[in-house]
Amino acid sequence: DRVTLFAVSDVTTSAMSVSPHHCSQLSMAYATHSLKHQFSTFIDDLYKSKGHTNHSLGFTMAFKAIEESMKNETANALIVYISRGLMSSITEAKTLMEVISQGQDSVIPNVIINTCVLIDDGKTILYEKHFMRVVAQQNFSKYNISNAKSEACMVVKGTMVSVNSSSNIGAVVRSVLSTPNLQPHSPLHPLKSKPTFLMPTWDVTNKGELVVSISKTVLDKEGNLLGIVGVDIALEDLAEDIIFYNDFRRSYAFFVTTRGKAMVHPLMKQPSNMMYEQPIALDITYFETCKAFARSKNIIFHNISGVMSLQKDRLTYSWQHVPRTPYIVVTVNTISRRKNPVWSTSTVPSSVMAPTVSFAYHRLDLSNTGQYHLCRNFRQLSSLDTGSLFLSGWCFQSPYKHLLSEENISQLNVQSYMAYLKDTTKLLANPGLRSGIRSELISLSAIIPYWKKVYIHSSLSKYIVRKYAVTSSGAVVMYPGGVVNHRLDVMHRNWYMRAIEYPKVTTVTPPYLDSAGAGYVVTLSVAVGQDPVMFVLAVDFTLGAMFNLMVESLPSCSSPLEAVPNNMKCFLMDDRGYLIAHPSLIDPLAKGAADEQHHITHRESLLANDLLNHKGLVKKLVCNDFTSNTVQRFYRFNMSLDHVVTNMISGEQCVRYQLTRLQGTNIFLGVVN
């Protein structure tokens, strides 16, 4: 459907006039999610005018929009007019009907008008309902107005409804958006024999999931409509094999409709991470950006299955249409010039597996009484006696089923998981885990005793919140052992993705608020193995620890906690310019100290401006955030920097600085005088 929206008072304002995407305020656009959001914002910004409502002007604009946007179209058009129905004079009704008559004759489509009268129970009603009913029925004969379509019996009478409360809004909306007196099986409304599949929307009435609605008409033997049956399927259930597709980063998969609209793609937010943001139906070419794909995509849409290689881009697309649905499953493989190393753990002998998984399942509250000494690590139920194992949705053959059952997991489920992982006879049934999970965890069997030993003797233990080891299949081993939210998607955590991005570098992520109550933490992570990565090891430090370590290494740096701070200021930032350690981050009196994502351009603007003058040091890049419909800019610093950078123009700034990269990391150390 194409729609437009006008606000009418003594003047008329179009919702299209505030959009940069439409050239004319009389244009009609497809009813996309972004346009609906634009309409909602337009309505929220309206204010009450002191002038009388010019009904005729509003309908004039509406007919002009239909005339401009529906040229040579015979489909019906619908005008929904919401008003109190107040008239400045008795003669205004005839004037408006003349405008509607002229409008009907000037456009090709037959225009149906539904009206909605807003009733204020505290005020007397005189002619308002009668006036709005005449408009809806387009009763031209009442005012002796000649109209060609009316004389040919082509005018379809609309519906008038009145509203005095918000309790029956649903019924009112159905009434004003319906086209009355049209039979459902008429040529204007042909019945669809095939099921209708809608794009994902939020199901706010149940569990707050993204659902795909599927509906179908039900007819009797004579072909008359009996009703419509439908079902809502959670997107995570429908596309779980695509959402949780994991081929050790050698390939990826996406889910697309036959019209080219992306349903699931690695570059899109996962449904569990969207926080009720309405997904926008975007063409797949926004995510598959190579030009060759844009030219060849119709091959995928028009052929039931096949393989397509793009040699220049070194990509191979394999696809299969899902029978009796408008969906296509596509996998994309990178054409490598050398063979990908195959990492296999299936050959681990059973004798090695005997002393295997020595850690507990993360649900320590379900463990046997007295097995471990439990304590509180901030707000997290923990134990220093053991590490804990968390199995994310990626570890299971049916991730969606696991995430649902994990909400009500029992001690019996925990015992079945651990019994299978510790089994050396291979006689126990698999409780739904993907193959290879047990072998991966065997490789981590010795890490918990080592972490316990280091925790006791290391001077840094007071700064460490927790340590992780994450397998390529999504299993997490953690010390101290602790309970984890069952919906944690570790594969999409920032520190995990940065470690995968830089496999030979120790990456540090900017401070973020810890969910277990440890305050702001900084995560150090490193990938083990390359092509593919086998594990990611990580450790959470407190924010103050990073600053203290920096000051201990550079005693000349000042601290806001000193009685008399000096003029030397030191900071750490990552390769995108986000601060990891800075005096303002630990100063409780600093403005915005409790916020996340502090950038060098905000805290050290003079230094940042000078850094942009250094050729090859920093790149300014752009990316699209399709959820917010914005273009965002960000910086990326040169990770190959091997020297000290100082003021580009001596004496030009009122500060002196030096900047260098800490080798083997994504951290840049800066000193400002």
pLDDT digits (tens, 9 = 90+) for 426-446: 888 999 999 888 888 888 888
Residue 351: pLDDT band by 50, 70, 90 thresholds?
very low
Q: Higher pLDDT residue, 206 or 246? A: 246
Q: Higher pLDDT residue, 25 or 583? A: 583
Q: Is residue 300, in this structure, part of any structural domain at all? A: yes
Q: Is residue 508, in this structure, part of any structural domain at all? A: yes
Q: Higher pLDDT residue, 66 or 329? A: 329
- In the prediction, which pLDDT does 123 show? 76
Residues 280 and 305 in one domain: yes
Q: Higher pLDDT residue, 189 or 346? A: 189
Residue 186 one-letter amino acid:
S
Stretch 54-73: mean pLDDT, rounded? Answer: 87
How far apart (Å, rounded) are the C-alpha atoms in residues 271 and 392? 15
Please count the structural domains in the chain.
4
Residues 574 and 535 in one domain: no
Q: Is residue 282, in this structure, part of any structural domain at all? A: yes
3-state SS, 594-622, equals CCCCCEHHHHCHHHHHHHCCCCCCEEEEE
Q: Decide if pLDDT at 344 tops 70.
A: no
Q: Higher pLDDT residue, 346 or 121? A: 121
Q: Is residue 231, in this structure, part of any structural domain at all? A: yes
CB atoms within 10 A of CB 264: 24
- In the prediction, which pLDDT does 192 show? 67
Q: Is residue 57, in this structure, part of any structural domain at all? A: yes
- In the prediction, which pLDDT does 248 show? 66
Residue 352: pLDDT band by 50, 70, 90 thresholds?
very low
Structural domain boundaries enclosing 416: 360-544
Domain boundary among 182, 210, 241: 182
Least confident of 234-238, 608-612, 625-629: 625-629
How far apart (Å, rounded) are the C-alpha atoms in residues 317 and 306? 8
Phi-psi region at 145: left, alpha or beta (left = phi > 0; alpha = psi -120 to 50): beta
Stretch 305-332: mean pLDDT, rounded? Answer: 94
- Which of helix, strand or coil describes residue 96? helix
Least confident of 36-45, 94-103, 119-128, 576-585: 119-128
Stretch 347-360: mean pLDDT, rounded? Answer: 55
Stretch 118-122: mean pLDDT, rounded? Answer: 81
Convert the pLDDT of each residue in 503-552 to its tens digit: 889 999 999 999 888 889 999 999 998 777 889 999 999 988 888 889 88
Q: CA-CA-CA-CA torsion for 466, 379, 403, 202, nearest 10 degrees?
A: -120
Residues 155 and 36 in one domain: yes
Assign residue 253 the CATH number of its domain.
3.30.450
Share above pLDDT 90 across residues of the chain, in percent, rounded to a whole number: 40
- In the prediction, which pLDDT does 24 show? 64
Residues 413 and 528 in one domain: yes
Domain boundary among 544, 569, 593: 544
Residues 277 and 383 in one domain: no
- In the prediction, which pLDDT does 510 show? 94
Domain boundary among 544, 572, 592: 544
Residues 507 and 640 in one domain: no
Residues 48 and 169 in one domain: yes
Residues 61 and 106 in one domain: yes
- Which of helix, strand or coil describes residue 447? helix
Can you tell me which residue has the tokens 């370590």?
549
Sign of the Cα pseudo-torsion (535, 539, 540, 544, in order): negative
Q: Look over the chain and give the mean of its residue pLDDT values, rounded to a whole number.
A: 85
Residues 654 and 517 in one domain: no
Edge-to-edge strands of the sheet including 262-264?
262-264, 251-257, 327-334, 315-321, 305-310
Q: Decide if pLDDT at 653 tops 70.
A: no
Q: Decide if pLDDT at 652 tops 80.
A: no
Least confident of 3-17, 626-640, 656-670: 626-640
Convert the pLDDT of each residue in 384-410 to its tens digit: 989 999 999 999 999 999 988 888 888
Report, in this order, helix, strand and coil percent for the chain, each rounded to 5. Answer: 25, 25, 45
Residues 176 and 207 in one domain: no
Assign residue 469 the CATH number of its domain.
3.30.450.20
Q: Higher pLDDT residue, 580 or 589? A: 580
Q: Is residue 536, in this structure, part of any structural domain at all? A: yes
